[in-house]
Every structure is written in structure tokens, then in C-alpha cells.
Amino acid sequence: MEEALVNWSRGQFALTAMYHWLFVPLTLGLSFIMAIMETIYYKTGNEKWKKTTQFWMTLFGINFAIGVATGIILEFEFGTNWSNYSWFVGDIFGTPLAVEGIMAFFLESTFIAVMFFGWDKVSKKFHLVSTWLVALGSNLSALWILVANAWMQHPVGMHFNLDTARNEMGNFWEVLLNPTAVDKFLHTISSGYVIGALFVTGISAWYLLNNRHIRFAKKSMMIAAVFGIVSSLFIVVTGDSSGHHISRTQPMKLAAMEGLYEGQEGADLVAIGVLNPNKTLTNDEDAFHFKIAFPRLLSLLAERDADAFVPGMNDLVYGNEEQNIPPTSEKIRKGDMAIQAIKDYREAKENNNDSLAGVHLEKFNKFYHNMGYGYFEDEKEVVPPVALTFYSFHVMVALGFLFVLLFILVIWNTMNDTILSKRYLLKAAVWAIPFGYLASMLGWVVSEVGRQPWTIQDLLPVKMSTSHISTGNVQTTFWIFAVLFTILLIAELSIMIRQIKIGPK
């Protein structure tokens, strides 16, 4: 396929997905924070808590609208720009998207109207339930879309049907309870909770720095920081579990995340490092200009054994007999055979030769799990962009730990009522907001860049997934999206900042 078309299609998906992801995590986290606040209002009847809830709801609404605007395109883009992909896996991938709509989107859209406009129209209790349902709905929607994404990273519960030339679902529960999906869901929503927490903490800190709304800000800050610390701990646990799974399902991604070219027993985990840009798979240069590493920690985290072998990119591309890792060239050969078997099977079927078709079917099933490799010509194609994956991963992790520190300091100082005098901490809390978004975005870069060149791990490369359109068409829509979403983002930020300046009523 034309390389430019593949790249522009990828670029457009990345652009639209990242714009969407600017707004989603806040929805996930803030919806729960609002629901907790409204619960306190419901329990105490204190009008101040109602005003507090309503203020955060105003910001939620502004953010939600643009989240919806940027979200609709993603669902349809699977069809518009990834037609072959939709054909190849639509039988499985469409299901979570449909369930997301039926289970989550209707819940959100119905009760969000009650939440915003129902204060005087429904009972206090019904209103509270509506707010919780909005939180539930937004998180349920995250569940289903992440199940879909996880399936692409680690396809399970399906088989390939040669008669329809596509993968078909064999077990719904395997797709839903895919360990990659469980980790991904928990890790991603907790990152959303941390962003929600950083957002509320940061804005409250800004009020405190300006000596405004002091009581409101302290209350909001405390709830958010506690919510944030709990969520952060959850991120650490689920991040660890993700790493463990990736070592099994996407070892190449793990090697890229760590800049690991040569596999090692008792592999170190890089804490800080500067990659050597001249390093290639085959040359003898050092992979790093500089690094500080925790000894043997990578083996421990990935394999749950400090002495275990963690394969590097070279092992995965060129094979490692000692560790029983086949070279990519062999997988390419098997993939070729799988694809040839499809052709032969269909030819035999056309000639009504069922017994011959059966032979080819058997051959196909033998090589199915390597099918995607058959579309590659060069074994090096299976290596993702190392630097982007490596730096994204390390900056994300470092930021995550800094947020934990921030939440601890905020809770400590709020409890001791010393927060007002800690101006450096308040300033840090304000600055943490954009870094929270950065960390979350980088998480997606690790996940999606790190799994290149696959759309479906081992089964379908990105270059086989596009629609039959000219590059020019995709370029045009790319720029329309870029301009449109940027304008809407500016409008959103401008409105949001203004509302924050106005403050709670």
C-alpha cells in the first residue's frame, strides 16, 4: 500500500484521538469528584456544598461538550479511514463499540441533562442518583472502548474464517475479560482520576494563591487530593501489572520502552537515560549515552523473577536459540504460508474441491498466529520507533511519582492548615495540571507507538488496514480536523479560564 496514505491515515487517527483524550480523562475523574461533593450536600444539606458541586459541574459541562465533539469522529474513523481493518476484525471490534453506545452513552446523555437542568425539576435524591449515573456512564464507556483497544494489543477469543476473509468472535467473555483489557481499563481510568484530582487541586491552589474563595478551595482541594492519592496508588499497581502482561504479549514493545537491544538475564530497569541516536539493531554502539538504572528490576517486574531473561529487540528480530525465541524471518515465512493457504483454500472451494480445501484450512490454522508477518518483507519492520516509546514511557512514570508526592504534601498541609503559607506548593499544584495531561497523553504514545507496526498484534499490520482513498483526501481531512479542533480547543480554554476567574457563586 502507498506509504504516504498509511502515514496520513495514522496521523489523522493520532491527531483526533489525542484531541479527544485531552477531554476524556477529566470527564472520568471530575464526574466522581462532583458526585462525592453532591453526596456531601445531600447528606448535610449545606448549601455551600451545592454551590461547590455546581461550580465544578460548570467546568465539567464545558469540557464534556468538546469531549463529545471530538469523540464522534473516532468511532466513525474506523470505517472511514480503516476500511480493511473494519472488514478484518469488525465482527469482534464492532461489538464493544455498540455495547458502549447502548450501555454507557445513553446513560450519560440522559442523566447529564437531569444533572444540569434538573436541580429544580427533580427531587434531591433523584438528582444525586443522576450525577452518580453520569459518572458511572462515563466510566462504563471507557471500559468498552478500552476492551476494544486491548483486543487489538492482545487479540483473544476469535478465529479466522477463510470463507468470509475475516476474524470472527468465538468467545465474548474472553474478549471482555482479556487480562490486557482489565489492566488497560484500570490503569487508564485511574489516570483519568488523577487528572481530575490534579485539575481540582490546581484550580483550588490558584484561588488560594489569589486569596479568593478560601473555604471553598480548601474543601475542594482536600477531597481532590485524597481522591488523587488513592488513584495514584492504583495506577502504580495497575501499571506494574500492565508491564508484566506486556512482557508476555508484546515483548517488542517492552524492549522499546526500555531501549533494550540485547536481551539479558537479570535485566536492569532504566530510571533515567539518554538514548544514543546512532544505535541501530545491528551496529555495536552503546544504546545509551548515559543512564542510571535499577539493577535486575526489569526482570523482576516483567517476569516476577530478578534473574529471568528479558528479550531485547535483537533477540526478537534475529532470534535467540538459547532462549527459544524464533527469528522474525521465520515468522514472515510462516505468515506467507498462512496467506498462501487462504488463496489456495478459496481456489479449492471455487472448484468445489472440499477435501483439498480442508488440507489448506489445516495448513492455515497451523500458521494463523503468524499471519500478519506475511505482509512484511523486511524483518526490521517489526521494530517500533524506539526513542519516542522510551522517552514517553520514562517521562510518564517520573511524572506519576511526582504527582504522588504532590498529593501527599497537599493533604499534609491542608490537614495541618498550613497550606496557605506554602506558596511554592500551591504554585506546583497549578503547574501540575498541564503535566497531568502530558503524562496521560504519553501513556497513549507508549501504548500505540510502542505496538507499531501492528493494528492487530501479529495478525494485521497498519499498512494493510487503510481505506481505498487517495492520500490527498486524507490530507485534506487531516488539516480540517487540525484547524477545527485547534479552534475549538482555544474556545474551550478561553471559556474555562474565564469561568475559573469568575469562580463559584
Judged by CB under 8 A, the chain residues 26 through 45 that form the site for another protein are none
Amino acid, single-letter form, for residue 133: L
Nearer to another protein (CB atom), residue 88 or residue 309: 88
Distance, CA of 315 to CA of 382 (rounded, Å): 12
Question: Count residues contacting another protein (CB under 8 A)?
Answer: 93
Contact between 309 and another protein per CB under 8 A: no
Distance CA 446, CA 244 (A): 15
How far is it, in rounded angstroms, from Cα 455 to Cα 77? 14
Interaction between residue 15 and another protein (CB under 8 A): no
- 369 near another protein, judged by CB under 8 A: no
- Considering only 4, 113, 233, 398, the residue that binds another protein (CB under 8 A) is 113
CB 192 within 8 Å of CB 26: yes
- For another protein, the binding residue among 3, 120, 284, 321 (CB under 8 A) is 120
Residue span binding another protein (CB under 8 A) among the ranges 55-63, 190-198, 224-232, 271-279? 55-63
Work out how close the CB of 334 gets to another protein at its nearest, in angstroms, rounded to a whole number.
15
Amino acid letter, 304: R
The CA distances from residue 363 to 209, 337, 368, 404, in Å, are 69, 8, 9, 53
Figure out which of the listed residues 183, 315, 379, 492 binds another protein, where binding follows CB under 8 A.
492
Q: How far is the CB of 477 from another protein (least distance, A)?
A: 6
**Where in 123-182 is the site for another protein (CB under 8 A)?**
126, 130, 161, 164-166, 168-170, 172
- Residue 268 CB-half CA count within 13 A: 11
Question: What is the distance between the alpha carbons of residues 308 and 254, in angstroms, rounded to a whole number?
Answer: 15
Choose which of 246, 269, 342, 429 interacts with another protein (CB under 8 A). Answer: 342
**Can you read off the three cell numbers belonging to residue 375?**
505482509
Question: Which of 219, 218, 182, 220 lies closest to 200, judged by CA?
Answer: 220
Q: Is 475 a binder of another protein (CB under 8 A)?
A: no
- Mark 202-217 as b/e (b = at least 16 C-beta within 10 Å): bbbbbbbeeeebeebb
Q: Alpha helix locations (H) across 325-422?
A: 328-350, 354-367, 386-415
> Of 7, 14, 51, 87, which one interacts with another protein (CB under 8 A)?
87
Q: Does 260 bind another protein (CB under 8 A)?
A: no
110 binds another protein (CB under 8 A): yes
Within positions 455 to 474, which residues make up the interface with another protein, using CB under 8 A? 464, 466-469, 473
Give yes or no for residue 272 binding another protein (CB under 8 A): no
